Structure 1
Amino acid sequence: MQMTRIALAAAALVLGAGSAFAAAPDWSKVPARKVTAFYPGTSPMEWITKGTEHGGARALKKGETCASCHDEETADMGKKMASGQKLEPKPIKGKAASIAVNVQAAHDGSNLYMRFSWKQPAAAGGDKMDKDNQVKLAFMLEDNKVPGANLSGCWETCHNDARTMPDAKDDKKTKYIKDGNVAGGKFYDLLQWTSKGGKFDGYVADKRVMEGGKALVEAKGEKKGDEWVVVFTRKLAGGEGDVALAAGKAVNFGFAIHDDWATGRYHHVSLGYTLGIDTKGDITAAKQ
């Protein structure tokens, strides 16, 4: 009898531990949206809004999104910048101009699942800026509290004085939001996976912080043949620095890939989109 009780208790512990890690959805049943991440060169928010070289300032004032103008031409934009024709004073020979990424999302009532898959571009063969990671993928969520985030996506965190930008004076200055404040809700929730096996849960407010979040459960990635597949599991609820998600809610969403051992600004980025939880969005996470 005593052994039976012990066995039952052990079984309960195993089942309880397993329930903390919900199974990922059947991705074959989840629709994918193809999003082109492109090489942005040195195109900070200040360049977009000054209005002398880019018509985006007028469009933003009218409430038009960057995606509404550029969604179908991101690959061509990437070619101009990767080649050095525009907004890239130090082009990298052979740098991929863009990466076509399939983005999928689903939830189970407790967790959000995000899946990113793409074909590995040809290597440029330049210096390994990040010697530890061939690839990194990050995505950001924003709760409609940062002015302009619904129009320009993650560009509200990209400034001309950040490190690795031509006008940078501080090599430690990272992404930030003007007047960013976590307590006041003015921040981007940031999650990252690295090919070395790292996972980070942080935020971007007055500076970028790569830790402290409580929502990330798991981030896994692998290369299958010539295709990368990265899957995040994130609690819908979180803590400080985590955007709270719930059915019927839509938030701003964007992602970036550091390909070919890249670091800093030498990444590929998406435009800004919306992620809806059981509601309309550019990408919708339906319950499974």
Structure 2
Amino acid sequence: MKKTMIAGALGTVLAFAAGSALAAAPADWSKVAAKDITLFYPGVSPLEWIQKGTEHGGARALKKGETCADCHHEEAADMGKKMASGQKIEPSPIAGKAAFIPVKVQAAHDGANLYLRFSWKQPAASGAAKMDDKNPVKIAFMLESGGKVELADQAGCWATCHQDSRTMPGAADTKTKYVKGASLAEGKFYDLYQWRSGEKKGFDGHVAESRVMEGGTALVSAEGKQDGDNWTVVFTRKLAGGQGDVALEAGKTYNFGFAIHDDSAAGRFHHVSLGYKLGIDAQADITAAKQ
């Protein structure tokens, strides 16, 4: 009996170790290329605003097929300053709100799992009332495949942000982010992942007709830590996935964007990236090479 129990326990340990080995992030992230991306405070700039030529000078370039990053990658910090201060498209500026957050993004894969690592320095707190007192920090990223969502190739996650979504001025508090004409069956959606600092857990959802924070099967783990003023968060997700998950393949690129809710922020009061490309063994803004 004792031998059987020992053998069973050993088998469990070995199985757990084997499973952990299959989902082991790079041991030395310093050897993985990093992309510097500046997140900026977006104010009230929903999809409808960026398409309106009378208010957004880039609307004409957008119609010609240029991307938001083509025009704004180098000026993200300056845009954030204008909006966080209330100088532009922010009717309710928050005194002391950080205008931008520089973030290092790294990616790798092992043939079975994708590893995404985000690292940044904690901005100074604004002193404003906490919108989400459970979570001082939240970080989320979204993936879209093949440009099936209109403007996803050009505007990143902006296709989920609409003027009638909650926390927008005058909008109802019941409507979340969504995609017009969404269809999970046709692949017209965004794959969504989030990590929350206070709850210390990850969420695997999607944005289609509405935002759903659970139900995905691709997320293996989401782990974050704070070392002094520095945050590091690593997501591990299977390359494969089920409904609501974008299946990732070597040699292909995917539309990618991410956001940080800093200073216990909620809703639209976050910092966002422009739209970029994530490549799996493919040249892109961020390339996940096999380790």
Give me the TM-score of the superposition, normalised by structure 2: 0.96
Q: Aligned residue for 1:36? A: 38
Spell out, residue by residue over 1:230-275, the C-alpha distance to the aligned partner (whole angstroms, 9 max, x if none).
0101010010000000111110000000000000000000000000
Q: Aligned residue for 1:110? A: 112
| Rounded Cα–Cα distance in structure 1 between residues aligned with 2:55 and 2:170 | 17
Q: CA deviation at 1:18?
A: 2.1
| Rounded Cα–Cα distance in structure 2 between residues aligned with 1:76 and 1:57 | 19
Aligned residues: 286
Q: CA deviation at 1:7?
A: 4.1
Q: CA deviation at 1:218?
A: 0.4
Q: Which AA in structure 1 matches 2:10? A: A
| Rounded Cα–Cα distance in structure 2 between residues aligned with 1:43 and 1:155 | 9
Q: CA deviation at 1:209?
A: 0.3
Gaps of 5+ in 2: none
Q: Aligned residue for 2:102? A: 100
Does residue 214 in structure 1 map to residue 217 in structure 2? yes
Q: Which AA in structure 2 matches 1:127? A: A
- Pick aligned residue for 1:285 from 247, 272, 288: 288
Instruction: Give runs of ≥4 in structure 1 deviating > 3 Å.
Output: 2-10
Q: CA deviation at 1:198?
A: 2.5
Does residue 124 in structure 1 map to residue 123 in structure 2? no
| Rounded Cα–Cα distance in structure 1 between residues aligned with 2:90 and 2:150 | 27
| Rounded Cα–Cα distance in structure 2 between residues aligned with 1:23 and 1:188 | 26
Spell out, residue by residue over 1:214-238, the C-alpha distance to the aligned partner (whole angstroms, 9 max, x if none).
0001001111011010010101001
| Rounded Cα–Cα distance in structure 1 between residues aligned with 2:5 and 2:264 | 51
| Rounded Cα–Cα distance in structure 2 between residues aligned with 1:234 and 1:225 | 27
Does residue 10 in structure 1 map to residue 24 in structure 2? no
Q: Which AA in structure 2 matches 1:133? A: N
- Pick aligned residue for 2:170 from 157, 167, 170: 167
SS of equivalent to 1:59: helix
Q: Aligned residue for 1:51? A: 53
| Rounded Cα–Cα distance in structure 2 between residues aligned with 1:129 and 1:150 | 32
Q: Aligned residue for 1:185? A: 187
Q: Which AA in structure 1 matches 2:170? A: D
Alpha-carbon RMSD across the aligned residues, in angstroms, is: 1.2
Give me the TM-score of the superposition, normalised by structure 1: 0.96
Gaps of 5+ in 1: none
| Rounded Cα–Cα distance in structure 1 between residues aligned with 2:283 and 2:8 | 44
Q: CA deviation at 1:56?
A: 2.1
Q: CA deviation at 1:12?
A: 3.0
| Rounded Cα–Cα distance in structure 2 between residues aligned with 1:171 and 1:261 | 19
Identity of aligned residues (%): 69
Q: Aligned residue for 1:81? A: 83
Q: Aligned residue for 1:24? A: 25
Q: CA deviation at 1:81?
A: 0.1
Spell out, residue by residue over 1:26-71, the C-alpha distance to the aligned partner (whole angstroms, 9 max, x if none).
2111011110000000000101112111122211111100000000
SS of equivalent to 2:74: coil
Spell out, residue by residue over 1:159-218, the C-alpha distance to the aligned partner (whole angstroms, 9 max, x if none).
0011110131x2011100111111221100000000011311000011000010000010
SS of equivalent to 1:71: helix
Spell out, residue by residue over 1:75-127, the C-alpha distance to the aligned partner (whole angstroms, 9 max, x if none).
00000000000000000000000000000000111110000000000000000
| Rounded Cα–Cα distance in structure 1 between residues aligned with 2:2 and 2:283 | 53
1:213-232 to structure 2, matched below 5 A, reads 213-232=216-235
SS of equivalent to 2:81: helix
Stretch moving more, 5-14 or 274-283: 5-14
Q: Aligned residue for 1:274? A: 277
| Rounded Cα–Cα distance in structure 2 between residues aligned with 1:172 and 1:18 | 44
SS of equivalent to 1:190: strand
Q: Aligned residue for 1:201? A: 204
| Rounded Cα–Cα distance in structure 1 between residues aligned with 2:58 and 2:18 | 48
SS of equivalent to 1:77: helix
Q: Which AA in structure 1 matches 2:156? A: G
Q: Aligned residue for 1:259? A: 262
